Amino acid sequence: MLHTFVALVQDKPGVLTRVASLFRRLNINIVSLTVGESERADTSRMTIVCEAPENAAHRIRASLYKLETTVHIDEVNRSEGVVRELCLIKVAAGPNAPHGLHSRSQIFELAQVFRARVVDLAPESIMLEMTGSASKIEGLIQVIRESNYEILEVSRTGRMAMRRGQHTSRVLKALGTKGSGEGTDLLDLDPDALPEDEALPNEFDE
């Protein structure tokens, strides 16, 4: 199954490499990884989507906490959250396109149906911008292809996620409010102390 982790990490060189190396050691595939600025100037926000067994989430979170650059980890796919993805799609739409000069008007109609925006118009192509769930983006791409349009380029950011209407424990602590997770310090989690049936294969183990 897919797991979505939101990680706040220190904004230092090499942090991305260390996170990617950690998942490689755990033999877990990263489906998508987005990194950007957070609400703090010295902290970056990572949204990591990975494919792993259901019982692997605890170990992954604990392993991320063992990195000295990690500030906070939250898994949002098991609670209510807002998940979005940004996609840019460049479609051939010129005199030589399969639908000829009618390509532009038909692509404009598809964009309206899927609530996408036209962000660039060139003599031979149209670029669409769409924000939404992964399934909605996949739906637009599928309809364009099934309508015999030629997709020239596709660029997707991957998932971006944020809890809906609920502060993380770090924010609650800053506000001086005790959260429901009082008494549990995730920084003290030790992945090596987990039960053996939750352990993940490590290709570097000898």
| pLDDT score of 148 more than 70 | yes
Percent of the chain's residues with pLDDT above 90: 44
Q: Cα separations (Å) of 185 from 4, 157, 172?
A: 21, 32, 14
Contact 65, 94 (CB under 8 A): no
Residues with Cβ within 8 Å of 174's Cβ and at least 6 positions away in sequence, in order, are none
Percent of the chain's residues with pLDDT above 70: 77
| pLDDT score of 188 more than 50 | no
| pLDDT score of 168 more than 90 | no
| pLDDT score of 36 more than 50 | yes
Question: Mean pLDDT over residues 21-37, rounded?
Answer: 91
Residue 96's pLDDT is: 77
| Share of the chain residues as helix, strand and coil, in percent rounded to the nearest 5 | 30, 35, 35
Beta-strand ranges (E) seen in the chain are 2-10, 29-37, 43-51, 70-75, 81-92, 117-122, 125-132, 151-156, 160-163
Residue 44's pLDDT is: 92
Q: Where in the chain is the domain with CATH 3.30.70.260?
A: 2-79+166-198
Residue 85's pLDDT is: 92
| pLDDT score of 117 more than 50 | yes
Residue closest to 6 by CA, chosen among 34, 48, 37:
48
Lowest mean pLDDT segment, chosen from 24-33, 110-119, 197-206 = 197-206
Q: Where in the chain is the domain with CATH 3.30.70.1150?
A: 82-156
- Tokens 């990680």 -> residue: 7
Residue closest to 4 by CA, chosen among 85, 71, 88:
85
Contact 178, 172 (CB under 8 A): yes
Residue 32, both tokens: 């998508």
Question: Mean pLDDT over residues 129-136, rounded?
Answer: 92
Please give the CATH number for the structural domain made up of 82-156: 3.30.70.1150
Confidence of residue 39 (pLDDT cuts 50, 70, 90): confident
Please give the CATH number for the structural domain made up of 2-79+166-198: 3.30.70.260
Average pLDDT of the chain, as a whole number: 80
